[in-house]
A and B are shown apart, each in its own frame.
Chain A
Amino acid sequence: MEYSLSEILSSYKGAQGELIPILQKVQAELGYLPEEAMNRVAEFCRVAESKVFGIASFYAQFRFVPLGRTQVTACRGTACHVRGAPQILAEVKRQLGIEEGETTPDLEYSLETVACIGCCALAPCVIINGKVESKMTPKKVKERFTKKE
């Protein structure tokens, strides 16, 4: 991690306006924001650690736990909602055994929700590793995640 962090930081000047882009880049590389990484960013940008943590916890994009190998994002948009998204999310949670924002202990799956991915015409949607699965039903969810025994 040490190496890649230095590499990431080397392309920035350390201005405060770069804080969010830096955190985005760190997360893109490491998959999440470990405490040490945030401390390094604070030092680099010469701001308090609390400031960096404050930003990271404010924005929905940042996470503090590693991602699973399979990233599941359930859309909670209005169009998805009126077409049954709550049942879809409930079924995903039941299949994976985790709540939103969590990762399974074996690091296989992580679950997040998003306010809207803008695929409203194909609602309800679930995104699995970047691929949008459209017009989901609880049955399709179950088939997609046959419970890991």
Chain B
Amino acid sequence: MSFEEIKQEAKGKREALRQGKKPLIFVGTATCGRSAGALDTLGVFHRELESRNIDAEIIETGCLGLCYAEPVVGIVKPGRPNIWYRNVSPERARELIDGYLVKGDTLTDYALGSTEGSVEGIPYLFDLPMLKPQVRRVLGNCGFISPTNIDHYIGSGGYEALQKAVFEMEPEEVINEVKRSGLRGLGGAGFPAGRKWEGCRRAPGDEKYVICNADEGDPGAFQDRSVLEGDPHSILEGMIIAGYAVGARKGYIYVRAEYPLAVKYLEIAISQAREKGFVGENILGSNFSFDLDIFQGAGAFVCGESTALTLSIEGNRGMPKPLPRPRTTEKGLWDKPTLLNNVKTFANIRWIINKGADWFAGVGSEGSKGTAIFSLTGKIANCGLIEVPMGITLREIILDIGGGIPGGKVFKAVQTGGPSGGCLPASLLDVPVDFDSLTTAGSIMGSGGMVVMDEDTCMVDLARYFLDFTEKESCGQCSLCRLGSSQMLEILRAITEGKGEMEDIDLLSELGEAIKIGSICGLGQTVPNPVLTTIRYFREEYEAHILKKECPARVCRAFISYRVLPDKCKACMICLRNCPVGAIKGGKKEVHVIDQDKCSRCGVCMSVCPERFSAVECIPGRLSEGDLK
């Protein structure tokens, strides 16, 4: 079948689905939806439709990105606007079937928004504060198509870029277009993608490889997974075009084994693409051949580094190659020229080919073109996945899209770039979000984690947390990274435990600078970033821990105590029963008291005390039994 026929068939199916008499029910069942209970909701739809003999089609989709609203369900009734509903629990699913599907009551209270037509009392979906400022390109299909049905992707314009590249463009023209677009590598480092492609094309050798880095390991980031689970073909298409451009015949997707659903969807996508002739020998009848395989990463953060990643595919420990090392584009996998790009970089390619470099570069800032995708999490009202134009300010992301800090708390810092990145304070909220501005501010763009912190987050504890992570993930080759990170961690631990000295702050800075110089890979060189930026912007918190023996955020256990307020305690026994160390004395009708010497400061009592009593408080300072007498 020619591509034109494949396309017409897919578009025909799509139209039939849209114009058909059957209602369509979209259920977001990516990992995030599942953890919010989407599979239970899905089960209800299947069972109820069957038992009530309702003829409707259920389509499982990826994630819309509105994680706070999961599980999200979209219902399309013939001749009516499409309505998307939030937090659809099994009970709510039954109500929707009864109310909307059967009776036609739109149940506005549960609605998120509508698309294709308007409904009284329901906003247009893309007018939601969280969606309105977004520019959805890579995420455009996520949540709206089935990731396991290639016809959905083709029906929405998929693989047109591949057809165009292979039949209407020379490889050099493809590379030129990518270069002109200004697309930079979205894995974190921001190396100009076109230049990398050109380097790989020019490297001598007949055997070349294309690798997609889907080893998303930053804690607090899930944007790559969402694209893998929501629109896997967009990545495949980008990789195949890259293969054509650089002259490779084989590609690998290096994906974390911790992402089983992404692996499954990729397997399905590859086999469907092979059936249609987009992958394999003589793609679409041309003389270009390209095959794709999945390699499951076995859980090593350092394997996000290019040389470690290729060593890992070759069956070795993933330890970055020593300096000086040749570029991966010249000598990568099996010592052959290799093009390695991130998931999001590949997912952008089809836009550049279809719409042209100028269109692509129409969005973005001076040195960073196109969009950036972030996982917006932490202490933020609207958690989720967002795609925004490069150059948007942190303030717009956090306050407008994210809806600010919940619970009336005060914004303290935002962390970008995961363990390699830095924490930026409120005074830098107007910094534009792009590669260069964030680097100047002391953080990095990174792969896309954005964790928001409020007054209850202790910055010293946070730095310790990141060090704890990177110390474990250091591959151990460079002494400064291996031992230096342990030393920094020890010092940070001492500070959070009340054993810190003022010299420690300088020692941390000095060690940090040394580790940067003395490590050969991106992991080692960025290990100290969270510590250095928190010292730079939140030095007073370090000083409070050391000089005043105080944790302003009341997180570090060495500096806090819990107390039951006698006038508020209703002697309900809840905290007493839940205390893991048996430190609470009292009884029925007898006000409870915490034994300060036994108390482990875990905070369970405060979390279980019923809100209407709020009888447990956390106070600064470490009390002992003697203090209370």
Establish whether residues A83 and B257, one from each chain, have CB atoms under 8 Å apart when the complex forms: no
Pick the most buried of A17, A20, A45, A116: most chain B CB atoms within 10 A of its CB.
Answer: A116
Could you tell me which residues of chain A, from 76 to 101, have a CB within 8 Å of some CB in chain B?
Answer: 76-84, 87, 90-91, 94
Contacts of A18 in B (CB 8 A): 315
Contacts of B226 in A (CB 8 A): 118
Expressed in whole angstroms, the Cα–Cα distance for A76 and B258 within the complex equals 14
How many chain B residues touch A (Cβ–Cβ < 8 Å)?
A: 58
Smallest CB gap from A119: residue in B: B35
Smallest CB gap from A28: residue in B: B257
Contacts of B418 in A (CB 8 A): 78
Q: Is B314 an interface residue (CB 8 A)?
A: yes
Establish whether residues B220 and A116, one from each chain, have CB atoms under 8 Å apart when the complex forms: yes
The residue that B580 contacts in the complex, of A54, A94, A125, with Cβ under 8 A, is A94
CB within 8 Å for A118 and B259 given contacts A76-B219, A94-B580, A137-B607: yes
Contacts of B457 in A (CB 8 A): 82
CB within 8 Å for A91 and B222 given contacts A79-B378, A121-B383: no
Establish whether residues B296 and A24, one from each chain, have CB atoms under 8 Å apart when the complex forms: yes
Expressed in whole angstroms, the Cα–Cα distance for A45 and B315 within the complex equals 10
Smallest CB gap from A16: residue in B: B315
Contacts of A122 in B (CB 8 A): 32, 35-36, 67, 70
Establish whether residues B220 and A77, one from each chain, have CB atoms under 8 Å apart when the complex forms: yes
CB within 8 Å for A17 and B314 given contacts A61-B257, A119-B32, A123-B377: yes
Expressed in whole angstroms, the Cα–Cα distance for A30 and B384 within the complex equals 37
Q: Is B595 an interface residue (CB 8 A)?
A: no
Pick the most buried of B216, B258, B296: most chain A CB atoms within 10 A of its CB.
Answer: B258
Establish whether residues B219 and A87, one from each chain, have CB atoms under 8 Å apart when the complex forms: no
Expressed in whole angstroms, the Cα–Cα distance for A45 and B217 within the complex equals 29
Contacts of A123 in B (CB 8 A): 377
CB within 8 Å for A116 and B218 given contacts A17-B315, A82-B462: yes
Establish whether residues B68 and A121, one from each chain, have CB atoms under 8 Å apart when the complex forms: yes
Pick the most buried of A23, A62, A81, A118: most chain B CB atoms within 10 A of its CB.
Answer: A118
Establish whether residues B604 and A138, one from each chain, have CB atoms under 8 Å apart when the complex forms: yes
Q: Is B397 an interface residue (CB 8 A)?
A: no
Establish whether residues A120 and B220, one from each chain, have CB atoms under 8 Å apart when the complex forms: yes
How many chain A residues touch B (Cβ–Cβ < 8 Å)?
A: 48
Establish whether residues B220 and A132, one from each chain, have CB atoms under 8 Å apart when the complex forms: no
Establish whether residues A87 and B313, one from each chain, have CB atoms under 8 Å apart when the complex forms: no
Contacts of A80 in B (CB 8 A): 219
Contacts of A105 in B (CB 8 A): none
Establish whether residues A78 and B222, one from each chain, have CB atoms under 8 Å apart when the complex forms: no
Contacts of B101 in A (CB 8 A): none
Smallest CB gap from A73: residue in B: B258
Expressed in whole angstroms, the Cα–Cα distance for A91 and B221 within the complex equals 25
Smallest CB gap from A22: residue in B: B315
Contacts of B301 in A (CB 8 A): 115
Contacts of A84 in B (CB 8 A): 603
Expressed in whole angstroms, the Cα–Cα distance for A24 and B313 within the complex equals 13
Q: Is B318 an interface residue (CB 8 A)?
A: yes
B312 to chain A, nearest CB (A): 7
A123 to chain B, nearest CB (A): 7
Pick the most buried of A17, A58, A123, A138: most chain B CB atoms within 10 A of its CB.
Answer: A58
The residue that A58 contacts in the complex, of B218, B317, B462, B604, with Cβ under 8 A, is B317
A96 to chain B, nearest CB (A): 13
Would you list 12 pairs from A and B whose C-beta atoms are within 8 A, ordered by A residue?
A15-B315, A54-B317, A59-B298, A78-B451, A116-B222, A118-B225, A119-B222, A121-B67, A121-B70, A121-B384, A122-B67, A139-B608
The 4 closest A-B pairs by CB, nearest first: A118-B222, A121-B67, A78-B220, A132-B35
Known pairs A78-B451, A78-B465 / 9 extra A-B pairs, C-beta < 8 Å: A19-B315, A20-B295, A59-B298, A61-B257, A79-B377, A87-B602, A116-B219, A117-B31, A123-B377
